[in-house]
């Protein structure tokens, strides 16, 4: 077979997963040649549109504020959230690598991360979210790309799409086909890592696998069209959890900017057009999105106060919304209702009931998270539910190696992030904050480490 080029490791996709895999592999040895092919004209992916928050257990940043958390505790939280629907071994592996991953990003790559200690996200027993100063995934992806550009043994090629996996007669992956601006090329590769994310931007696939959420706004990266699933099907790969996804309940419809769920976790609530609450908001923004979608007009309204507003200004998206006057502000709930064009009496009644629930510490929906009573001035904003990314994909083992339908490793093939079945189980309720980014960076690093180590071991054995 004739090849246009030969490389040690080929990575499809230049999002967080692909870049983490490339950096992890390249640092194993300067003699390893690693190429990252990105089909679009820019380095973005879902990582760029995320809040850049990485959940991790056992980090020194946690210990600095007195949190001593084990990866087993983190795994327990993830499995409890997804009702034990995900592969336990994968959950344990990802939890175990989470702490070292965060410290690798900081110490080896020089990416500034700190622990978010203002509040805990739904289902997390401890503060474990680590994020850039801006609380922005864009900052994270730019930092990863900068580190990639500093490595002489990593080649990053844009507008170059991996379209097909090439296997030998033993069904081992030996290379890829890439569509470049100069035409189609066949690249020989010792290892291939699929980091093309999921299928959120593919309306046909979303309607097939997640029909109940097919009409929601898509808020992920345009390049997430299910490429890994299509290529995996060609080589007999198995799949899992294709109906799983991360939804979100709070995107500003007017401005197309995410409103942080910190508004809820710090003590706010959500209502519909009638000014009525319709569920336990603290259960999680992913599963709550379906409830929002069921309301009249398929939208809701976040209600919170100035203290909460002030605490969230450190989050870049929230600050941007504040700077463009996206929030309605009023000294009374009735006035706020009028500004939001809600039923004023309905909102007033809901507010009074919510304040009483805050005193009791429980409401009729089963919510028990009531950090405080709300106090004027009050803030509100109209929001819509959105699909952020899918959580199902290629079945992998704890080394991020892709498995076939017999449960066997497809030799030389890896996957991570949205290209692989993650740790969110089979439904929206299984998503825990940070699952997507952790699966991207975590399995990316695991794949890069394992692929590079295996190549070096094979070369050592043959010398």
Q: Do 56 and 80 have their domain in common?
A: yes
- The per-residue pLDDT for 462 is 59
Give the tens place of pLDDT for each residue, 329-358.
Answer: 999 999 999 999 998 889 999 999 999 999
Residues 125 and 236 in one domain: yes
Distance CA 396, CA 244 (A): 16
Shortest CA distance to 302 belongs to which of 378, 355, 353, 361? Answer: 378
Task: Name the band, by pLDDT with cuts 50, 70 and 90, for residue 51.
Answer: confident
Q: Are 139 and 105 in contact (CB under 8 A)?
A: no
Question: What average pLDDT score do residues 149-155 get?
Answer: 97
Alpha carbons within 13 A on the beta-carbon side of 304: 24
Domain ranges, residue 12: 5-244+391-462
* pLDDT attached to residue 367: 96
DSSP letter assigned to residue 158: S
CA distance 185 to 388: 32
Please tell me whether residues 408 and 456 are part of one structural domain.
yes
**In a shared domain, residues 158 and 23:** yes
Of the candidates 391, 419, 440, 294, which has an alpha carbon nearest to the alpha carbon of residue 81? Answer: 391
Question: Are both 156 and 259 inside the same structural domain?
Answer: no
How sure is the predictor about 83, in pLDDT bands with cuts at 50, 70 and 90? very high
- Examine the pLDDT at 132 and tell me if it is beyond 80: yes
User: Does residue 232 share a domain with residue 297?
Assistant: no
- State whether 350 and 452 are in the same domain: no
The domain tally of the chain equals 2
Mean pLDDT of the chain: 95
Looking at residue 344, its pLDDT comes to: 84
Q: Which has the closest alpha carbon to 81: 444, 424, 450, 453?
A: 424
Q: Which residues pair with 378 in a beta bridge?
A: 305, 330
* Confidence at residue 103, expressed as pLDDT on a 0 to 100 scale: 98
Residue 173: what are its φ and ψ, rounded to 5°? -75, 125
Give mean pLDDT, residues 401-406: 98
Q: Are residues 63 and 178 in the same domain?
A: yes
State the CATH number of the domain containing residue 249: 3.90.700.10
**87 and 187 assigned to the same domain:** yes
Residue 463 has pLDDT above 70, yes or no: no
Q: How confident is the model at residue 94 (pLDDT cuts 50, 70, 90)?
A: very high
Tens of pLDDT along 405-448? Answer: 999 999 999 999 999 999 999 999 999 999 999 999 999 999 99
Shared-domain flag, residues 188 and 269 = no
- Name the band, by pLDDT with cuts 50, 70 and 90, for residue 316: confident
* Nearest Cα residue to 309 out of 299, 320, 319: 319
End residue of a domain, out of 353, 387, 421:
387
pLDDT band at 215 (very low <50, low <70, confident <90, very high): confident
- Of 155-159, 283-287, 441-445, which range is least confident? 283-287
Token readout for 77 is 């939280």
Same domain, 294 and 213: no
User: What mean pLDDT is predicted for residues 366-387?
Assistant: 96
Together in a domain, 53 and 63: yes
**CATH code of 103's domain:** 3.50.50.60
* The token pair that represents 15 in the structure block: 């999002």
């Amino acid at each position: 077979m004739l090849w246009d080029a030969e490389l040690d490791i080929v990575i499809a996709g230049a999002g967080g997963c692909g870049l983490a895999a490339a950096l992890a592999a390249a640092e194993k040895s300067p003699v390893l040649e690693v190429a990252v092919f990105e089909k679009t004209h820019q380095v973005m992916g879902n990582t760029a549109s995320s809040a850049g928050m990485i959940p991790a257990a056992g980090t020194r940043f946690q210990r600095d504020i007195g949190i001593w958390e084990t990866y087993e505790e983190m795994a327990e939280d993830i499995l409890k959230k997804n009702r034990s629907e995900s592969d336990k071994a994968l959950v344990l592996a990802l939890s175990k690598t989470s702490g070292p991953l965060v410290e690798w990003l900081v110490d080896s790559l020089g990416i500034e991360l700190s622990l978010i200690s203002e509040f805990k996200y739904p289902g997390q027993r401890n503060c474990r979210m680590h994020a850039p100063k801006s609380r922005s995934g864009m900052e994270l992806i730019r930092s990863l790309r900068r580190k990639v550009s500093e490595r002489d043994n990593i080649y990053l090629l844009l507008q170059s799409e991996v379209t097909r996996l090439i296997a030998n007669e033993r069904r081992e992956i030996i290379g890829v086909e890439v569509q470049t601006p100069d035409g189609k090329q066949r690249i020989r590769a010792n290892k291939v890592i699929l980091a093309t994310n999921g299928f959120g931007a593919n309306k046909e696939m979303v309607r097939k696998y997640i029909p109940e959420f097919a009409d929601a706004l898509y808020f992920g990266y345009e390049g997430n069209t299910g490429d890994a699933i299509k290529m995996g099907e060609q080589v007999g790969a198995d799949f899992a959890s294709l109906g799983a996804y991360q939804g979100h309940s709070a995107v500003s419809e007017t401005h197309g900017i995410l409103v942080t769920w910190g508004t809820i976790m710090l003590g706010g609530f959500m209502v519909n057009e009638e000014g009525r609450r319709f569920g336990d908001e603290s259960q999680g923004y992913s599963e709550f999105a379906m409830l929002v979608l069921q309301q009249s007009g398929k939208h809701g309204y976040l209600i919170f106060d100035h203290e909460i507003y002030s605490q969230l200004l450190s989050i870049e998206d929230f600050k941007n919304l504040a700077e463009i006057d996206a929030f309605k502000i009023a000294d009374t709930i009735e006035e706020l209702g009028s500004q939001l064009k809600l039923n004023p009496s309905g909102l007033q009644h809901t507010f009074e009931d919510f304040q009483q629930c805050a005193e009791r510490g429980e409401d009729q929906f089963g919510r028990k998270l009531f950090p405080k009573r709300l106090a004027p001035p009050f803030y509100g904003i109209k929001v819509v539910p959105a699909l952020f990314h899918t959580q199902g994909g290629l079945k992998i083992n704890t080394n991020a190696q892709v498995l076939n339908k017999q449960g066997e490793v497809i030799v030389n093939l890896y996957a991570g992030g949205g290209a692989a079945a993650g740790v969110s189980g089979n439904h929206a309720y299984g998503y825990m904050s940070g699952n997507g980014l952790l699966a991207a960076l975590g399995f990316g690093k695991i794949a890069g480490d394992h692929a590079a180590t295996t190549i070096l071991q094979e070369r050592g054995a043959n010398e």
